[in-house]
Structure 1
Amino acid sequence: MWDLVQSLQGQMRIVSGQTATGYVAFDMTAALALARAMGLPAALAADLLPRIETVAVAKMNEQLR
């Protein structure tokens, strides 16, 4: 699972506006396809990725500030 999360750094949804830019979410279509390609159970990825995403997005946005 850790390898999958590391691979998702390039699969982020980003929003950019006049006043701020920030990370919004993983591209879950890409994330689940990558999990499948890595041989991870789909149910496991579907269960854990949203939880990991919440923390990852928050931490990445903290770094932008």
Structure 2
Amino acid sequence: MIGWDLNAALALGDALGIPPVAMAELLPLIEAVMVRKLNEEMVANGGPGVSH
């Protein structure tokens, strides 16, 4: 995984009433952690598309 669709994430934040400034500040940080954790999990499980 390389990242999120940030336009969709910003639209979701807007729909939830989250201020755009907060979304712009927090989304990159949250995205970086999620991408790193998902990639670690994929490696630990034998890569994408591999089921155990």
SS of structure 1 residue aligned to 2:2: strand
* TM-score normalized by the length of structure 2: 0.80
Structure 1 residue runs of 4 or more that deviate by more than 6 Å after TM superposition: none
The CA distance in 1 between the partners of 2:40 and 2:31, in whole Å, is: 14
Q: Is 2:29 the counterpart of 1:48?
A: no
Greater relative contact order (Cα < 8 A, sep 6+):
2
In structure 1, stretches of 5+ residues that fail to align are 1-22
Deviation at 1:26, TM superposition (A): 1.0
- The structure with the larger Rg is 2
Q: Give the structure-1-normalised TM-score.
A: 0.64
Larger strand percent: 1
Corresponding residue for residue 17 of structure 2:
39
Q: RMSD across aligned C-alpha pairs, in angstroms?
A: 0.5
Gaps of 5+ in 2: 44-52
